[in-house]
Amino acid sequence: MTGLISAGVAVPATRIALADILRAWRNVPEQVVRRLGVGGRAVPGPDVDTITLAAEAAQRALTSRVDAVFLGTQTNPYATRSAAAIVADMLGLSPHVFVTDLQCADKSGTAALLSAIAWVSSGLGERALAIGADTLALHAAPGDPFEYTAGAGAAAFVVGAEDGAATVVRAASAATDTPDRYRLDGERHIRGTGSAMTATGVGLEQHVKLAFGRLGVAAEEVGHLAVSQPDAATPARIAKVLGVPGESTGAGLVADRIGDAGSASALLSLARVLDRAGSGDTVVLLSYGAGASSDAVLMRATGNAIGSGTDRELDRAISVDYPTAVRYERRYAGHERLTGTYE
């Protein structure tokens, strides 16, 4: 049996209200912004990046020795250097550890979790750490509608060969070439490819349906749906597309307070679900990555709360205004310059 043993999450405490971004730009009708269901999004501070978020979440998840670290992210500050190796050293793990970074757009996090599950199930090691972390806020163009929801966060799970808080039953995936959002090497900002590809949800709806369909679980049996959340309205929309009970998305809702956490989104949702799932509950983890691909994992909750403290992290909020967010996220590219100790 392979199961999820423990979990930890990290979300920037600084948040900005969507109303503040709207006041600065006035480029989207107010009711369109309100329809997203997102009150505020996370603002990564000037000293926060994907690696620090991943290290914080992993530190809180780590309760025992692990033999492998899988880090899924699409916003690694280094193009070539392994963020997973840096995080392993930050955690003080033995150097006899397998590390790798995974990049598969917004589903990098579940790709890392599935890799960890495969690693443990195959007997390559006893315990593996899977992390999903992203700072999308740094990669949203000023004035782009994506700026309203692009947030940041990280979630980490320890996977082991025991039941834990949830036992993995089955997994299924789907992938096709359906470009809806992308960022080229050397570019800072993530772009959409036009409303025909993004607003219609052609990639999202098709891929979650394909992946969920192969899980072999009846839609009405799903107790909790932990799903990628580009905004807070998407979980209900996906539930409708799949035909699962609408109330199954309630426990996993995180985007209403932090916005789109990218690769961490589905894993944050899963952590919140496993903090409160009852014994025998059917839990489905469902992710979507732009470009496009989807992972689905069917799990059975054992009733042992995973103790991730997700609510505590979500509640730890310090409001900042738009000018502060602009400084924190370095939205204006300044001159390239060398400086001394002081700026």
When the beta carbons of 77 and 179 are compared against another protein, the nearer one is 77
Q: Which of residues 291-330 bind another protein (CB under 8 A)?
A: 312, 316, 318, 324, 327-328, 330
By CB under 8 A, is residue 96 in contact with another protein?
no
**Residues 37, 233 contacting (CB under 8 angstroms):** yes
Asked whether position 49 contacts another protein by CB under 8 A, the answer is yes
The backbone torsions φ and ψ at residue 230, rounded to the nearest 5 degrees and listed phi first, read: -65, -25
Integer Cα distance of 54 and 153 in angstroms: 8
**In terms of CB distance, is 76 or 228 closer to another protein?**
76
Among 124, 182, 187, 278, binds another protein (CB under 8 A): 187
Structure token pair of residue 286 = 């469902």
Closer residue to another protein in complex, CB, 237/327? 327
Are 282 and 223 in contact by the 8 Å Cβ rule? The answer is yes
Q: Please state, in angstroms and rounded to a whole number, the distance separating the CA atoms of residues 190 and 150.
A: 10
> Looking at 25-33, 196-204, 268-276, 331-339, which segment touches another protein (CB under 8 A)?
331-339
d(CA 132, CA 295): 14
Q: Identify whether the C-beta of residue 286 lies closer than 8 Å to the C-beta of residue 227.
A: yes
Question: Token pair for residue 11?
Answer: 């979300």
Site string for another protein, 214-253 (x = CB under 8 A): ----------------------------------------
What is the distance between the alpha carbons of residues 204 and 178, in angstroms, rounded to a whole number? 10
Interacting residue with another protein among 26, 47, 177, 220 (CB under 8 A) = 47
Number of neighbours of residue 70 by Cβ within 10 angstroms:
29
Residue selected from 25, 28, 39, 77 as contacting another protein according to rule CB under 8 A: 77
- Strand 98-102 versus strand 152-160 pairing type: unpaired
Site string for another protein, 126-145 (x = CB under 8 A): ------------xx------
If the CB atoms of residues 96 and 337 are measured against another protein, the closer one turns out to be: 337
Candidate residues 94, 122, 279, 339; the one interacting with another protein per rule CB under 8 A: 339
Interface pick for another protein out of 37, 40, 45, 153 (rule CB under 8 A): 45
Of 7, 83, 82, nearest in space to 50 by CA: 83
> Do residues 117 and 171 make contact, with C-beta atoms less than 8 angstroms apart?
yes
- Summarize as ranges the residues that interact with another protein (CB under 8 A): 13-14, 45-49, 51-52, 55-56, 59, 77-79, 86, 89-90, 92, 138-139, 185-188, 312, 316, 318, 324, 327-328, 330, 332-343
